[in-house]
Structure 1
Amino acid sequence: MDHYATLKDYCEAINIPSSKWEDFDIRTFEENMKTVHQKMPPFKHEFYAIALKLDGSGYAKTGNYSTEDLKATLFFNSPYQILRWDIAPDWDGFYIIFSEEFYRREESKKQISADFPFLLVDNTIPLTLNSEEAVTFIKIFEDMLMEHKKNDALSKTICHLNTLVLLHKVGRLFDKKVPASERSFDHRNQDLNLVSRFKTMLETSFYPNQTFENGEPHKVRYYADQLNIHPNHLNAVIKRITNSPASEHIQNHILTLAKSKLSNTSLSIKEIAFDLYYNYPNHFANFFKKQMGVTPNTFRKGIK
């Protein structure tokens, strides 16, 4: 199953122009209809999305729920949730798609899953709208779209504030329309929180000038110990949400850092190995060759 980690990759995959901002985008379905792939097989991305469908044939499906045969509808999905669609080129409406970082802004400890748990429902339930409700949401999307097109010094701040308004209004409508018996927040919420914590730890564990007395940041066990869970459980949760085990995320992160250092610095292979917290440079060299098929020196020589 395809997995898109950036908005650029997502836009390219569905065949629409790239977004102006790397952490937020807003579109009308009408403008997308010119080029978008009308049929997309199941895939995942790493963003939150809220869509307002006013009309259109075919369906979009998130989780176990579909928009088929629905007119004015709000539907949404969260990172790593399976999404697919099969639509005709007649859709009318809007959508926004944004990252957790866009939502947090300067408040690094905020978590959208805690503030708006309806985004984490495994069975993502579309909300049908009456005419009055539809008008309310159309106005919010139109204001955001106009601000996004301005793209001046305040546009991102205003779009962020409008996104908060939209989230609160969707949350209120969700509480009104969806019986408590149909809601299931806990397990997916816990899994996504674990993925978020793991990714943050992975990023910060390779910052410079750190010491590791009881583990190595190259191994799943190191992160599992910090999170107080078994390595097998960590691998299982990360794979369930992202389609790749924790070990693969660690390897990919090390490779990204290593290739950057080989391409952009004059550090020796030994110095790069120590920068990446390998105790023995030959362990780094063996890892790199196994993953890339060439030694670090050969890789560096091939850079133009």
Structure 2
Amino acid sequence: MSKTETLEDFYRHKLNEIPPNLSRDLGHFNAFRLEDYHKVGKAPIQYARRDYYKISLIRGHFVYHYADKSLEVEGTTLLFFNPQVPYTMQPLDDTRSGFFCIFREEFFSEYMRNNLRELPMYAVGGKPAYPLNEAQDRNVAQVFEKMLEELQSDYRFKYDLIRNYIMEMVHYALKMQPSERLYQNIDANTRLTNVFTELLERQFPIESPSQKFSLRSAKDFASQLNVHVNHLNRAIKLSTGKTTTGHIAERLASEAKALLKHTDWNISQISDCLGFEEPAHFNHFFKKQTNLTPTAFRN
């Protein structure tokens, strides 16, 4: 699996230039027409985590690999990519067109009460892809056109307007799949669960065999969060309906699938970086989670 791609990597490898002052532009926002982007960028897109958010409107036939899942899509799709989750796009034809925009979390953090990761499409296990019909395609494309127009303007508050356009697309997608979780009141249990989830996600993706998954138990997380393990278990159970151990196992299995599918590391290397003392323990865990051995899943 490739290392995390930074915005600097994106501009250097895909557009052959880095915008001035990018390192001092904490939030950073930019938007592109997909056709122009693919004329310039010839480097293959790697399956990797990015350190920035991305929203794409893509027309065409392709497979997108997201975490441990792969989905073939034909037509128009609105995609929301979470920087914590590795992904890549595999085109199946030469008819791609559309738009995409990129931005760092800081672009919103000072202006948005809720964390972006609390939005359903950016939540762990959330739905990142929304197929669009012709009318929906036109509506979302118009939003991208407005963002491109504002980027070229000298309007003093253009980035405030662009933030509104991004949220317009977010809500457009959410109306297609309503979620009761959006902007719900956050209580103490939910806050603790969110912090636990963020701490869990910080350990992924595993990008080299030398990287180790270290926080493996509820007790490990409780110690890191400075709370009693019973309190952590109770808060997570009340907030999600799942146990702390269940969340850890589910995320560990997801990462194991991604490593088996997208790397050529052997089973022993994968077992070791995921924190298992013996490959046999990893085999037992993986089969319990998926009903397949790691080798059978890879093949």
| TM-score, normalised relative to structure 2 | 0.55
For the 8 Å contact 1:27–1:95, the answer to whether it is kept is yes
Q: Which has the larger radius of gyration?
A: 1
Partner of 2:10: 10
For the 8 Å contact 2:64–2:72, the answer to whether it is kept is yes
For the 8 Å contact 1:49–1:98, the answer to whether it is kept is yes
Q: Which has the higher contact order (CA 8 A, sep 6+)?
A: 2
Q: What is the total number of aligned residue pairs between the two structures?
A: 202
For the 8 Å contact 1:77–1:124, the answer to whether it is kept is no
Per-residue CA shift, 1:184-224, capped at 9, x if unaligned? xxxx96665336999xxxxxxxxxxxxxxxxxxxxxx9x95
| TM-score, normalised relative to structure 1 | 0.54
Partner of 2:72: 68
Q: Which residue type is aligned with residue 228 of structure 1?
A: V
2:198 pairs with one of 156, 173, 193 = 193
1:172 pairs with one of 161, 170, 175 = 175
CA distance in 1, matches of 2:70, 2:177: 16
Query: Does residue 92 of structure 1 match 2:97?
Result: yes
CA distance in 1, matches of 2:38, 2:5: 23
Task: Decide whether aligned partners of structure 1 residues 135 and 106 sit closer, same or farther in structure 2, where only a CA change above 3 A counts.
Answer: closer
CA distance in 2, matches of 1:43, 1:121: 16
Partner of 1:300: none
CA distance in 2, matches of 1:128, 1:5: 26
CA distance in 2, matches of 1:6, 1:123: 23
Q: Which residue type is aligned with residue 3 of structure 1?
A: K
Task: Decide whether aligned partners of structure 1 residues 74 and 17 sit closer, same or farther in structure 2, where only a CA change above 3 A counts.
Answer: farther
Per-residue CA shift, 1:121-163, capped at 9, x if unaligned? 4264522111111111111111111112225432212111211
**Partner of 2:42: helix, strand, or coil?**
coil
Structure 1 runs of 4+ aligned residues shifted over 3 Å read: 3-6, 13-22, 57-60, 64-69, 188-192, 195-198, 223-230
Structure 2: gaps (5+ residues): 180-192, 204-219, 230-244, 260-299
1:41 pairs with one of 43, 46, 70 = 46
RMSD: 3.9
Query: Does residue 129 of structure 1 match 2:128?
Result: no
For the 8 Å contact 2:80–2:121, the answer to whether it is kept is no
Query: Does residue 25 of structure 1 match 2:24?
Result: no
For the 8 Å contact 1:65–1:126, the answer to whether it is kept is no
Task: Decide whether aligned partners of structure 1 residues 62 and 153 sit closer, same or farther in structure 2, where only a CA change above 3 A counts.
Answer: same
Structure 1: gaps (5+ residues): 177-187, 199-220, 244-304
Task: Decide whether aligned partners of structure 1 residues 194 and 156 sit closer, same or farther in structure 2, where only a CA change above 3 A counts.
Answer: same
The alpha carbon displacement at 1:16 in A equals 5.4
Question: Percent identity at matched positions?
Answer: 19
Partner of 1:228: 227
